[in-house]
Amino acid sequence: MKLTFTGIDNIPMVEPGDDLAGQIVTGLAAMGETLQDNDVLVIAQKIISKAEGRYLDLRTVEPSDEAIRLGAEVDKDPRKVQAILDESNEVVRKRPGVLIVEQKQGFVQANAGIDQSNIPAGDGGPDDLCLLLPVDADASAEQLREALYERAGARVGVIINDSLGRAWRTGTLGLAIGVAGFTALEDHIGGNDIYGRELLVTQVAAADEMSAGASLVMGQTTEKTPVVLVRGYQPREPDDPAQRGVKPLIRPKEMDMFR
């Protein structure tokens, strides 16, 4: 098996309302490539959020008493703390400089994924504008998948990834936050190993593994190479609608020994 991860590095700076599918198809064409059935595209969350206009100007945010108190506790701008709380279900851990929450879509991550790097400065200065995650990253992935089919006639998988931290280990990994046309969690329970013995625990976070590999190609300043074409994998939509999207990768809080 051979997988190729090819960065599409000629996507223009993305503005709200941009047609990402068109930009991707054009970017590929300039590289002499066309989309094929069973390709997978891994897209940086940042350009999805930008295309969806998910900017928030902190000058419009009125911090609550809770945000002011929490901001003092963790040494963060109370307006940004308010924005994080507004994007979250609950605070999971906090300490000075660190605020780890369950983002509304279920992702345990720092600052609810709100980011201020690689976005243009707001009129009021570089610290006023920030970028939120897509409202529903699975829906964003599905829409892009449909748009790519209309544009290019190819049935592809789409994964939206973001750089997330983790317990126990340092450094971020590019992990999936939105998935379409791809089985995020490959479930091999009941399969056999090479000696014919039953495999007991074999759930593999395939969408995260592909996201992580693509993240290497994106590099850190993700708008430079915000889209990666993965060829050689055979993505498939799960038959069970409940297994579609990124949700199978989210461990329910009541099943999580580390929350």
Binders in 53-72 for its own copies, by CB under 8 A = none
Which of 67, 145, 54, 151 is CA-nearest to residue 105?
54
CA distances for 100 relative to 35, 89, 111, 115, 118, angstroms: 38, 11, 6, 14, 21
Q: Which is nearer to its own copies, 55 or 233 (CB)?
A: 233
> What are the DSSP calls for 231-248, one per residue?
ES------SSGGG-SSGG
Among 38, 74, 104, 233, binds its own copies (CB under 8 A): 233
Q: Which is nearer to its own copies, 153 or 232 (CB)?
A: 232
Among 84, 217, 238, 244, binds its own copies (CB under 8 A): 217
Among 24, 81, 212, 227, binds its own copies (CB under 8 A): 212
The footprint of its own copies on this chain (CB under 8 A) covers a number of residues equal to 72
Residue 257 interacting with its own copies (CB under 8 A)? yes
Among 29, 72, 121, 139, binds its own copies (CB under 8 A): 121
In b/e form, how buried is each residue of 86-119, taking b as 16+ CB within 10 angstroms? ebbeebbeeeeeebbbbbbbebbbbbbbbbbebb
Among 56, 85, 206, 227, binds its own copies (CB under 8 A): 206
Residue 216 interacting with its own copies (CB under 8 A)? yes
Residue 126 interacting with its own copies (CB under 8 A)? yes
Minimum distance from CB of 95 to its own copies (Å)?
7
CA distances for 201 relative to 33, 182, 192, 205, angstroms: 39, 21, 11, 12
174/165 Cα distance (integer angstroms) = 9
Q: Which is nearer to its own copies, 20 or 47 (CB)?
A: 47
Binding to its own copies in span 5-34, by CB under 8 A = 5-7, 9
Residue 208 interacting with its own copies (CB under 8 A)? yes
Minimum distance from CB of 208 to its own copies (Å)?
6
Bridge-based pairing of strands 55-57 and 129-131 is antiparallel
Minimum distance from CB of 65 to its own copies (Å)?
25
Binding to its own copies in span 136-195, by CB under 8 A = 163, 166-175, 184-186, 188, 191, 193-195
Burial tier of 200 (Cβ tally within 10 Å: 0-12, 13-18, 19+)? exposed
Other residues' Cβ atoms within 10 Å of the Cβ of residue 246: 26
